[in-house]
Structure 1
Amino acid sequence: MQKLTGKKMSFKDYAVVSSLLFGLFFGAGNLIFPLHLGQLAGHNWVPATLGFLVTGVLLPLLSVLAIAITKAEGVYDVGLPLGTGFALVFMVLIHATIGPLFGTPRTATVAYSVGLQPFLGANNHWGLLLFSALFFAAAFAFSYKENDILSNVGKVLNPLFLVLLTLVFVVAFANPLGQTTGAPVTAAYTSFSTALTNGFLEGYNTMDALAGLAFGVTVVTAIKQMGFRDSKSVSLVTAKAGFFSMGAVALIYLLLIVLGAMSLGQFKLSAEGGTAFSQIVTAYAGSVGQAVLATLLTVTCLTTAVGLVAAFAQDFHNHFPKVSYHVWLFLSCFASFLTANFGLETIIAWSTPMLMFLYPLSMVLILLSVFSPLFKRDGVVYLAVVVCTVVPAFFDMIVAFPKVVSHSTFGLAVGNLRAHLPLASIGMSWIVPALVGLVVGLLVHFVRRNSLPEMVEE
């Protein structure tokens, strides 16, 4: 490393970058979805955990590695082998989904509905409005200066979150509410295969694979500010810090899933993980525990919001430079504030279909980027895989929409077509077509390479 950069990367430097990555990834959904998964899976929590870790940990880690391996600086570069038009559209869709439309507003609504609403009451209509205004004002302030993002998230907000979460785990595992061995199982998790599959799909809700692509520009900027300028050193630092941070995320997911399964010893299955978390904390510490939970959720949600609004502003400023970083930052925060006031239930209902569409596309692009050195990042391979993935992913999106879309004439027609695709019943109709596209793309690539070797050199 020292030969590459002229600067030795210390353990402290790695810890700070890893803390930044952890803080950017770990937000509202990362607390409530694994906890709810534990309640859904009951004593079948092990296969559910394995599935969840694939989309909740392995895939986000691969997204960070994709940025490192391709020397990309953001989601735009990941889609570039398919052309500038596709790359720009893909970037806008990713940032809109994890940004002002769904992901960023969710950070405020979860923090409010789970942390503060129990104190204010469900009928307090002004509470969310005021809280979300203050929340996004804070996110704007923390991310206003680009060179302060590393310090604010990696050194200040994230350690505070870890201290509070550790306190919750120590208390909960010292005095468990029940045993996982006797925890009831819901119908969707009765067998090993169904628990594995549904755990895999539940990992979509974290949005971390999408976030990993979008956070690339934030992470790369922070590493360059530490004195690592050339692309090789930035890639190595990003990759190593990614392993550290996602290892910590995997451990927390495991503890949360077990905690959720144990909670069934005293509580019934909750509607969502936020309610379960509130019940667990209140059972141990009453209103004091609820206050700790409110603080915990607000801190972790704010760290993620800072990363999301900054990544949005940085990427959009890079591609639309006539508008300044600060204007894009304000627009992101203000739009997120407006969307947040539609409420958590509405946000989740409309975000799920977009995730069913974007996650398959993101997964294939991430995997293609990671293994791109094997086929020289040939755009033909990318094109074949993405074309075969986008149609079934679009079908999955349509049938996942609320009834106003999925039960319309168009929605029912799409559902009938989708039913003929393999694995459609488990929400993975895109996998077989994507594999077919991969085989076709690689065959074309190797035939072209053998017949026209000079094209590969170019």
Structure 2
Amino acid sequence: MQNKQLTAGDIIGLGFMAFAFFLGAGNLIFPPFAGYQAGENTPFAMLGFLITAVGLPLAGLIAVAKSKGKVMRMLPPVAATVLASAIYIIIGPAFAAPRTSLVAFEIGLKPFIDNTDTIIHLGGLALNQAQLLFTIVFFIVVMLLSAFPGRLMDSVGKVLTPLLIALLVGLAISVMLFASGNMPAATGDYALHPLSKGIVEGYNTMDTLASLMFGMLIIDLLRKKGIEDTHLQTVYLTKAAFIAAAGLAFVYISLFYLGATAGELASGATNGGQILTNYVNQQFGDLGNIALAVVVSLACLTTAVGLVTSCSDYFSELFPVLSYRVLVVVLSVVCAVVANVGLSELISISIPVLMMVYPVAIALVLVTFLERFFRRPKLTHRVSLLVALLFGIFDGLKVAAASMKSFDVSDATPFSQGLIHFVAWISPVMSELPLYDQGMAWLVPTLVAIVVCIIIGHSTKPSSVNA
């Protein structure tokens, strides 16, 4: 039987779908504030941000395509399952998916309604009534879209995303035409090392982690479309990856420029959402606010659909007793609950967690591309990822300890006090590592581990390469 192939329109729709999955509300909020803080150092900060927020997700998708959807096949089964599960939980119900509904509420609905601070009490919990109702409706829509994954390319890639792209293009054109403020002096870490600060800031998008999920999701969708040939799957996924990367780069560059030239519009702003809202309100008034609400809501919705779909697909394979649609319902409910209970606490620990896990994901993508140079690929994968994890943990602990210092240590739990003391004890040693002060202590040791594995592998006899 002849293998089915996609048309050019299908490939573009696939790329649009991938772009929409990546472009969540956080992706619209981080760049303007980073541009504002980077100021005159925006080109370097933007380059760093693009490396981790565009380049690495692109590489992640291609790595998944290159490995035919089995990017973790070189790891021990238990380690691969733990790593994959951790990524799915972090990028799914624990952090990213609940955040989509919260930001959609704050920017997409809250500015247009009154009495948004009404509190209701359920089971001893104080909940925002408007936010509760919004998140329930939001995740009902997510659940319905996610329940039929075979239609995702049509419903998201060919319907929702073109509207989203049209609105973003309009915003970008207006930024290029009307943003005229002078770039201020760089502040904080952007004044000292803007490139590495931009790289670490790109972690917040979580898109490198998401690329490992979305890549496998797209391959699964291609199979459902009748594309069984693995070579064609690789070709189509790679083309979709470049389309998504181009869209992300376009959005980030324009939003960085907006933040860097915002001038008085950014005065007193504490996040990029405020800068973006102030700009849109000044340039377009109420009509602009409505358009921004539509952009943010669509970005949040499409991302949430991609996250819930990917997590449901993965855990339905991991636990066959649970069907895909049952997991869609369960995860949608969990996301709605997390968005209303304890989300601030989860977000407060998200950065340390990302500092620990991101190096592992980056190392995984890197060794996947370099696999043909390894005589002992399994050993190289395992050693490199272990080194990245160990040193990434130190990066994460440093950030966690720094955030804890803002609280009264005497009131902290014994674990928190112990963590602060441990980091204070180990920091003098770790500070000798290159890039430790910039949050990337893992990079040099990981590269060294890869090089050593290559040298050791090629110094052994061919008969031992299967170890």
- Cα distance 1:160–1:273, how it changes in 2: closer, same or farther (>3 A)? same
CA distance in 2 between counterparts of 1:286 and 1:189 reads: 32
2:185 maps to a residue whose letter is P
Partner SS for 1:215? helix
The answer on whether the counterparts of 1:38 and 1:257 sit within 8 Å (CA) in structure 2 is: yes
Residue 184, structure 1, aligned to residue 185, structure 2: yes
2:154 maps to which residue?
151
1:225-236 to 2 correspondences below 5 Å: 225-236=224-235
Q: Following TM superposition, by how much is the alpha carbon of 1:95 offset from its aligned partner in structure 2, in angstroms?
A: 0.6
- The reply to whether residue 129 of structure 1 matches residue 156 of structure 2 is no
Structure 1 distance, partners of 2:219, 2:42, is 36
Displacement after TM superposition at 1:123 (Å): 2.6
CA-CA distance at 1:160 after TM superposition: 1.4
In the alignment, the residues of structure 2 paired with residue 377 and residue 9 of structure 1 have an alpha-carbon distance, to the nearest angstrom, of 37
TM-score by length of 1: 0.91
Instruction: Please state if 1:368 is matched with 2:367.
Output: yes
Report Cα offsets for 1:88-119 as digits up to 9, x if no partner: 10011001100000010111111112232233
Partner AA of 1:82 in structure 2: L
How big is the alpha-carbon RMSD for the aligned residues of Structure 1 and Structure 2?
2.1
Tell me the residue number matched to 1:198.
197
1:275 Cα shift?
1.5
Name the CA distance, whole Å, in 1 between partners of 2:273 and 2:344. 12
Q: 2:36, 2:259 within 8 Å by CA — same for their partners in 1?
A: yes
In structure 2, C-alpha distance between the alignment counterparts of 1:14 and 1:339, rounded to whole Å? 35
- Aligned counterparts of 1:206 and 1:425: Cα–Cα separation in 2: 21
- Structure 1: tracts of 5 or more residues without a match: none
Q: What amino acid is aligned across from residue 267 of structure 2 in structure 1? A: K
1:417 pairs, out of 405, 426, 430, with 426
In structure 1, the partner of 2:463 is 452
Map of 2:37 onto structure 1: 40
> What does residue 10 of structure 1 align with?
7
In structure 1, what residue type is equivalent to 2:454? L
Residue 79 of structure 2 corresponds to residue 86 of structure 1: yes
Cα displacement (A) at 1:415 = 4.2
CA distance in 1, matches of 2:188, 2:306: 37
**Alignment-mate amino acid for residue 189 of structure 2:** A
Counterpart of 1:301? 300
Q: % of aligned pairs identical?
A: 31
C-alpha spacing 1:117/1:412, structure 2 compared with 1 (3 Å): farther
The equivalent residue for 1:102 is: 95
Letter in 2 for 1:88: T
In 2 relative to 1, CA 343–170 (structure 1 residues): closer, same or farther, beyond 3 Å? Answer: farther
Q: Give the structure 1 partner of residue 390 of structure 2.
A: 391
* 8 Å Cα contact 2:108-2:293 kept in structure 1: yes
Distance verdict in 2 for CA 1:151–1:42, change over 3 Å? same
Q: Classify the secondary structure of the residue corresponding to 2:56.
A: helix
Q: In structure 2, the residue corresponding to 1:229 is in which secondary structure?
A: coil
Residue by residue, what CA displacement relative to the aligned partner does 1:339-393 show, whole Å, maximum 9, x if unpaired?
1114764443121111101100000001111221322671100122122221121
In structure 2, C-alpha distance between the alignment counterparts of 1:58 and 1:230, rounded to whole Å: 27
Q: What does residue range 110-121 of structure 1 map to in structure 2 within 5 Å?
A: 110-120=103-113
Secondary structure (helix, strand or coil) at the match of 1:21 reads helix
Please tell me whether the aligned partners of residues 116 and 129 of structure 2 are also in contact (alpha carbons under 8 angstroms): no
Determine if contact 1:52/1:202 at 8 Å carries over to the other structure. yes
Q: Check 1:318–1:111 CA distance in 2 against 1; reply closer, same or farther (3 A cut).
A: same
SS at match of 2:68: coil
| 8 A Cα contact 2:375 2:458, kept in partner | no
1:30 lines up with 2:23 in the alignment: no
Change (3 A) 1:48 1:144: same
Q: Distance in 1 between matches of 2:3 and 2:229?
A: 10
Q: Structure 2 matches for 1:194-343, cutoff 5 A?
A: 194-268=193-267, 270-342=269-341
Instruction: Flag the 1:381–1:232 CA change in 2: closer, same or farther, 3 A.
Output: same
Per the TM alignment, residue 174 of structure 1 is displaced from its structure 2 partner at its CA by 2.7
Secondary structure of 1:81's partner? Answer: coil
Name the CA distance, whole Å, in 1 between partners of 2:117 and 2:4. Answer: 57
Deviation for aligned residue 1:431 = 1.2
Q: Structure 1 residues 362, 419: CA separation in 2 closer, same or farther (over 3 Å shift)?
A: farther
Could you tell me how far apart the structure 1 residues matched to 2:295 and 2:314 are? 29
C-alpha distance 434-285 of structure 1, shift in aligned 2 (>3 A): same
Shift in alpha-carbon separation, 1:252–1:377, aligned structure 2, 3 A = farther
CA deviations 1:239-280 (Å, max 9, x no partner) are: 122112201211111011001111124431521111211111
Aligned equivalents of 1:204 and 1:233: distance in 2?
A: 31
